[in-house]
Amino acid sequence: MSDAAALVTEAVGDSAAEWDLAGWIPHEVVRGLGAKGVLCAEVPARHGGLELSGVDNGELTAHTGALCSSLRSLMTSQGMAAWTIQRFGTRDQHSEYLGQLTGGTLAAVAFSEPGAGSDLSAISTRIERDGDTVVVTGRKTWITAAAYADVVLVFGRFGTDTAVAVVPTTAPGVRVERVPAPLGCRAAGHSTVDLDNVRLPLSSVLSGRGFPLPLLVTTALTYGRLSVAWGSVGMLRACLTEAGRHAGTREQFGSTLAQHQLVARHLAELYVAERTATKMCEDASQSWDARSPDMGAAAVLAKYVASTAAARGAATAVQVLASAGAQDGGVVARAFRDAKLMEIIEGSSEISQLVLAERALLAAQ
Amino acid sequence: MTDSLAATTPTAISENLQEFLLSRTKQAWEPDVDLFASGVVSSMFAMELVVYVEKTFDVMVLGEDLAVDNFRTVNKMTDLVLRLSENSGV
């Protein structure tokens, strides 16, 4: 196990069920991992990061996802924030913000709005320049990690382009309100973020300027999709272990469950799902590490394959464990709820399919 | 994937980009035609173009260099590559 993975194991201990039921991870646990650079592990060492490769960060993400999907969700947000700053920020902003994100400051990334989910071109939040300041106004919904965050990266209209403002949650005019009872990743701090004429220095806007929305969103989401995909692999691994352990020991009709062929098939399907998702994720992260132009499409493919496999696999694991898996907070019960959300966030399965269909058409031409 | 074409000539850069665009869009692009006005640039393709430029010409395109104007035409991208190669060429 890598050092970073060991830190996650130690931080989670046997608390994942408790965190899930409480809908909250103690702030000091999250901040502690953040301060060790674990939550955005690809950040370069010169900014205090662990400088992991995409493949190694993927394995760390899967490890975290196998233990606690809520913590893994916070990791996805922190990593996506760091990546967005790395790509679109100035050198000064790299030094300032990346140092903070590896030093215990927690971040969320805010794309979605009441009227802009899959269609992010409908974003209505405004970032308006006023001399050396900007004023941010809008409402962001279902923002993962926002309840923990010290800063929120807010995507908003900036003239005819889109800009990203790094908004401290303590700034006057910012209100963060938790989604009361999310279906899954219950301790991931999903919140509504209201921004009422929040005035910030222009230096809070990445590079102080706007960019094309598609470029911003695809760049940020490619990191997020890889992270969600690896997190889904982690869930599948946890489900496979639980289902295998149960089916190998529990006896009915005079033999273990695994000796009943219909149950053995469930195990085979879970194994195939885990292996398939892992290979897709490795392929996508290798594209990422090689800076291949295909990385965006590879990330969509990996996210689609891994999240759908996890949703199906978690349901299978609950079936195998039956009453032993039906207790809320337990590993497979959590995976059952958490995996469903993975088919929705960072590009729903249907949006992913549209991208993949485009790919198929291009290949056929 | 081609090897790095760092420190190459404007013509070579321009031709390489045109070839990439042809392979991805299935149409030819004159060096001064606006790619973004054409509607051919999907959200995925915008990022692919950036990553392709970085990988092929061994440059990093970060921060304000990611502005759409730098990617609008083959000529603009060629200028960007030459400028970034100069800056990093020590």
Cα separation, A101 vs A78, in Å, equals 7
Same fold, A108-208 and A213-364: no
Report helix, strand or coil for A311: helix
Distance from CA of B50 to the nearest CA of A (A): 8
pLDDT at residue A112 in the model: 97
H or E stretch covering A140: strand A133-143
Cα separation, A332 vs A235, in Å, equals 8
Cα separation, A340 vs A184, in Å, equals 8
> B-contacting residues of A 161-200, CB under 8 Å?
161
Q: How confident is residue B1, by pLDDT bands cut at 50, 70 and 90?
A: very low
Burial class (CB in 10 A: 0-12, 13-18, 19+), A82: buried
pLDDT at residue B88 in the model: 64
Distance from CA of B9 to the nearest CA of A (A): 22
pLDDT at residue B2 in the model: 47
What length is written for chain A? 365
H or E stretch covering A303: helix A295-321
pLDDT, block means (10 residues), chain A with 365 residues: 94 98 97 98 97 98 98 98 97 97 98 93 96 98 98 97 97 98 97 98 97 93 98 98 98 98 98 98 98 96 98 98 95 98 95 93 84
Question: Strand A107-110 and strand A174-178: pairing?
Answer: unpaired
Contact (CB, 8 A) for A55 and A285 = yes
Q: What is the 3-state secondary structure (H, E, C) of A20-63?
A: HHHCCCCHHHHHHHHHCCHHHCCCCHHHCCCCCCHHHHHHHHHH
CATH fold of the domain at A213-364: Butyryl-CoA Dehydrogenase, subunit A; domain 3 (1.20.140)
Instruction: Answer whether residue B43 shows pLDDT above 90.
Output: no
Strand partners, A200: A134
Helix axes A213-249, A54-67, angle to 10 degrees: 50
> B-contacting residues of A 225-264, CB under 8 Å?
none
Cα separation, A71 vs B81, in Å, equals 40
Q: Does B64 touch chain A (CB under 8 A)?
A: yes
| Cβ neighbours around B80 below 10 Å, total | 21
Cα separation, A216 vs A271, in Å, equals 36
Nearest CB partner across the interface for B46, out of A89, A93, A214: A214
Strand partners, A165: A154, A205
User: First and final CA of chain A: distance in angstroms?
Assistant: 45
CA dihedral (A303, A305, A309, A311) in degrees, to 10, reads: 40
Q: Does B90 touch chain A (CB under 8 A)?
A: no
Count the alpha carbons within 13 Å of A156 in the hemisphere toward its beta carbon.
28
Instruction: State whether A211 and B66 contact (CB < 8 Å).
Output: yes
pLDDT at residue A229 in the model: 98
Q: Chains A, B: CB contacts under 8 A, how many?
A: 74
Residues A108-208: name the CATH superfamily.
Butyryl-CoA Dehydrogenase, subunit A, domain 2 (2.40.110.10)
Widest CA span in chain A: 79
> Which residue in the block uniquely carries the two structure tokens 């106004």?
A137
Buried b (16+ CB within 10 A) or exposed e, A327-344: eeebbbbbbbbbbbbbbb
Residue of A nearest to B57 (CA): A291
Query: Measured between alpha carbons, how far is residue B69 from residues A41, A219, B56 in Å?
Result: 32, 17, 20
Cα separation, A5 vs B43, in Å, equals 34
Instruction: Please report residues of B whose CB lies closer than 8 A to that of A360.
Output: none
Cα separation, A285 vs A298, in Å, equals 8
Contact (CB, 8 A) for A166 and A97 = yes
Q: Which amino acid is at A99?
A: G
pLDDT at residue B6 in the model: 54
Instruction: State whether A90 and B49 contact (CB < 8 Å).
Output: no
pLDDT at residue B86 in the model: 85
pTM: 0.95
Instruction: Please report residues of A whose CB lies closer than 8 A to that of B1.
Output: 292
pLDDT at residue B90 in the model: 41
pLDDT at residue A363 in the model: 84
Domain A3-106: give its CATH architecture: Orthogonal Bundle (1.10)
Burial class (CB in 10 A: 0-12, 13-18, 19+), B40: middle
The domains of chain A are located at 3-106, 108-208, 213-364
Cα separation, A118 vs A136, in Å, equals 22
Nearest CB partner across the interface for A222, out of B26, B47, B63: B47
Instruction: Answer whether residue B40 shows pLDDT above 90.
Output: no
0.90 surpassed by complex ipTM: no
Distance from CA of B12 to the nearest CA of A (A): 20
Contact (CB, 8 A) for A99 and A48 = yes
What length is written for chain B? 90
Residue of A266, A264, A277 whose CA lies nearest to A237: A277
Concatenating the DSSP letter of every residue in A191-255 gives: EEEEEEEEEEEGGGBGGGS-B-HHHHHHHHHHHHHHHHHHHHHHHHHHHHHHHHHHHHH-EETTE
